[in-house]
Amino acid sequence: MFNADTPAKCCSYCGGRDHDFEECPKRKADAEKEEAARVAKAARAEPGFTNEFHP
């Protein structure tokens, strides 16, 4: 049934209709995977390695 008192939800990340972007479980999982990959990459970096962000 249509309930005008309840705002519509639509996630712009995954297209889900049961949650908003801020509550998206896929977005949170993807962010955790990216962070784990970033940490793993940093752990593999050679000692003394410099880049444009960390001279």
Q: Which residue has the higher pLDDT, 41 or 22?
A: 22
**55 in a domain, yes or no?**
no
**13 in a domain, yes or no?**
yes
Q: Give the count of domains, the chain.
A: 1
Query: Which of left, alpha, beta for 48 (phi over 0: left; psi -120 to 50: alpha)?
Result: left
pLDDT (mean) for 27-44: 88
**50 in a domain, yes or no?**
no
**20 in a domain, yes or no?**
yes
Query: Containing H/E element for 54?
Result: none
Domain containing 18 equals 1-45
**21 in a domain, yes or no?**
yes
Is this model's pTM higher than 0.85 or not?
no
Residue percentage of the chain with pLDDT more than 90: 36
